[in-house]
Amino acid sequence: MLRREDRLGPALLVALLIGTLIAGALVYQARTPDLALEVTNLRPCLDRGKTVRIEFFVRFDEPAATVGLVAAGQVPVRTLASPVPLRAGEEVAYEWDGRDDQGKPVPRGRYRLRVVLPDQGRDMIYPTKLTVTPPRGPRAGRCDEPEGSA
């Protein structure tokens, strides 16, 4: 029969392992973002004079969301809808023509989708960038060029 002192070491080791697993799970959960936005269609390039279709859904109901596009530094460029109700799991779609809120063409560059869910306390900027190409010149229309062409 094992003495009490002989059982204490393995019991402490098991308790330490269980505590480590629990702490690891808590750290993982704290560092993993709660994905409230799921983009299902966002072409990463927009030729001047055309439109791009953006499709997404949210995982939480929001009665007064704001959907828009931002430039570098999270500078608002275009509001696509505000306030707009969004229902959890219901896909919505917006078209963007490469123009700002004043109707002027945005400069070439990279833009991101921004969805604000005020009731949820969420201000989400989708990481994939949407590149707006120049209006004319040798690089115009590169969105429609096949991979590898120059």
pLDDT, tens digit (0-9, with 9 covering 90-100), for 59-106: 989 999 999 999 999 999 999 999 999 999 999 999 999 999 999 999
What phi and psi, each to the nearest 5 degrees, are found at residue 119?
A: -65, -25
Percent of the chain with pLDDT over 90: 51
pLDDT tens by residue, 109-150: 999 999 999 998 889 999 889 999 876 655 555 565 443 333
Which pTM was predicted?
0.69
Domains of the chain: 37-143 (2.60.40.4070)
Order of strands, sheet of 92-96, starting from the edge strand that comes earlier in the sequence: 37-42, 52-58, 92-96
DSSP-assigned letters across all residues of 41-83? EE-SEE-TT--EEEEEEESS-EEEEEEEEEEGGGEEEEEEEEE
Q: Look up tokens 């869910």; give the residue.
A: 117
Evaluate the CA torsion angle 26, 31, 35, 41 in order and state its sign: negative
Q: What is the pLDDT of residues 17-39, one digit of tens each?
A: 898 888 877 765 555 455 688 89
Q: For residue 46, what are its two tokens?
A: 């927009």
Q: What distance in Å separates the CA atoms of residue 94 and residue 112, rounded to the nearest whole number?
A: 13
